[in-house]
Amino acid sequence: MFEQIKIKQLKKMIKRLYLFIFTFVCLGMQIYRGQNKILDSLIHYVKVAPQDTHKLAVLTMVIEAINEDAVWSPFNDMLGALAKEFTLHKNPAIKLFGKKHYSAFLNNKGYLNNNLGAVTQALECFHQSLKIQEEIGDKAGQSYSLNNIGYIYNSQKEYLSALNYYQKSFEIQKEIGDKFGQAISLSNIGNIYDKTGSYKKALFYYFKGLNIRRSIKDKSGIGYSLQNIGGIYLNLKSYFSAKYYFTKSLEIRKLINDEKGISYALCNLGKIFLEENNLVQAKKHTEEALRIARKIGFPENISNAAITLEDIYLIEEKYDKAHAMLSLAVKMRDSISNNELQNSMVKKQLQYEFEKKEVISKAEQEKREFTYQVKEKQQRSIMYSVSGGLVICFFFGAFTYNRFKITQKQNVIIQSQKKVVEDQKHIVETHQKEIVDSINYAKRIQYALLANDHLFTENLKSHFILFKPKDIVSGDFYWATVQDNKFYLAVCDSTGHGVPGAFMSLLNMGFLSEAINEKKISEPHAVLNYVRERLVTSISKEGQQDGFDGVILCIDQITGEISYAAAHNAPLLISEFSKGGNDDLENKSTVLKKDKMPVGKGEKQDSFTTHSLKLNEGHTLYLYTDGFADQFGGPKGKKFKYKQLEQLLLESSSLSVSEQKETLLKKFEEWRGNLEQVDDVLIIGIKV
């Protein structure tokens, strides 16, 4: 969220007036308790005070103390008129004082115009204010005006212009040492980069702003910066980092009892847990976010939480609750729209009420101070004012009725649109189910073509297969066949994963079968050469580099000779050797040779190489793809890597094959934790 700035503090001359105002309130009126009564005292002072610099200072204080635009706007007009008079004064100090406050009047007027949607007028006011501030050397005022101009351009999606003004504001704040202002400008600059998708730059400025806010111990600002950083990581789908920063933001928000911020952080944490399929935590955080948002009347976050809960309930097949959450989300969107309309009408009504009270107050003052003749004129003025008020009431009533009819029509349209959305949602869900059913059917086809257990047990003494696809279907595959008393086993990683990878795996298995069973090619390197040629002529005509990395192993069942060819993926051999005596044995691992090129179109098109291999009793051979080594996880969210995988295989090689598989699977899940699986995982171990 970007931030507009009204004038936030009175400068040296205004500070010198505090003692005067306090003395006046204490001696001239009853001492009130509570902020509202003090504000009433200041407003009364504005009405009765002479046209001097004290009145100008008090007007500024009144404007800053009132939140409602329609209420403080008339005071700002009084400020502008009085300040303009002082800009013509002969005394240089008073003239400077007047210019300073006239620039504040213009800044406030620009703020008000922007809130009312008059963007052109708002920009004009901010530029006029900036010109005066540059003339009198008011650096702090310049930084506020530059920031507000940047805000206008940002709201109009003119991001380059907005960025330019935010950066100018930041440079001035650095010059005058305004750290609070620097943090706001850095946040606004970060938001520009966030909106335009430049997430690295956005993070740079968010972190820079966070460091400043920490240095000045601005707890509310720290919570805001942490929230923005978490939002970036959420957009990047870096859920581990996003969770960390939203959790830190939540801690700060709880510390300062910022219920709106607490609800926002909880809602985002709920989304992250849902993405991680942690339904228990997702539901817990989102329901708490919804409870707080309802308590404080925060329609936007009620809607956000309801949408997340709808997804959770759909997964849990609690369709009644899901429908209730959808209805709540739609209701909150309607509420936000209606509130904006209502706020506009309330502002107009408050402005009218204020003007009417001013007329009556002025009439009472004139009764006490002027003659009968003046009273007579004043009564006529009241009569005209009341008549005018009645006319305004009439037109206001007509306007309100017209808006009511428009709102009714809008509600009919919204209900119609809601039905269309629900119908479309049903269609999407139906199509999604059909797609998932089709993919599940494709899975059955793919699994039917994979090497079956019977083929393994007939041709291998002892083995295990760890196969864990990322999605329903897989780009990784293992395939085997027997031809001319030779057992062939391929362990491969096709380009891609999911449905595209599955299509490639089916094509690759077909070409392997064609090479060995139909073309009677027996040497492993020749098999890979043939499959590469078929892939290049079939699917690489337009420059695609689809294919696979993998190993094809050949075991001669008569001679016992073993040979293999490897494309990018090298087999790993674990062998026993004597350390001292016969009983003192130790395992060692050897990464076998491979060709550094894929089976498919690549930079190199050399012939693959057939390597001979001798397995003795106690040896274990592992064939695997890159999915296990490339998985992110652990305490720092890093890759597992091949070196750690080789060490894990070495340590578990002395176990039975079933225990090895169990150990590998357990280690993979522990390492992955709550992070998403990044690729298909395939490891086959063959023990002699």
pLDDT, position 580: 57
Average pLDDT across each block of 10 residues of the chain; the chain has 688 residues. List them in order. Answer: 40 39 38 54 70 74 75 81 84 86 88 84 91 90 91 90 93 93 92 91 93 92 91 90 92 91 91 91 91 86 88 89 86 65 41 40 44 54 66 70 75 75 74 69 73 87 92 90 94 85 88 94 95 85 77 93 94 78 71 93 90 88 94 91 94 92 94 91 92
- DSSP code string of 21-55: HHHHHHHHSPPP-SHHHHHHHHHHHHHHS-SSHHH
3-class secondary-structure state, position 329:
helix
- HSE-CB at 525 with a 13 A cutoff on CA atoms is 13
pLDDT, position 40: 74
State the Rg of the chain over Cα: 38
Please state, in angstroms and as integers, the Cα–Cα distance from residue 5 to each residue in 128, 169, 355, 568, following that order: 16, 12, 26, 60
3-class secondary-structure state, position 626:
coil
Contact assessment for residue 490 and residue 551, using Cβ atoms and an 8 Å cutoff: yes
Torsion (CA) 95, 98, 100, 104 in degrees, nearest 10: -160
Torsion (CA) 583, 584, 585, 588 in degrees, nearest 10: -170
> 24 CB contacts (<8 Å, ≥6 apart)?
45
**Can you state the angle between helices 239-255 and 219-235, rounded to 10 degrees?**
160
pLDDT, position 38: 66
- DSSP code string of 660-678: HHHHHHHHHHHHHTTSPP-
pLDDT, position 372: 40
Contact assessment for residue 196 and residue 170, using Cβ atoms and an 8 Å cutoff: no
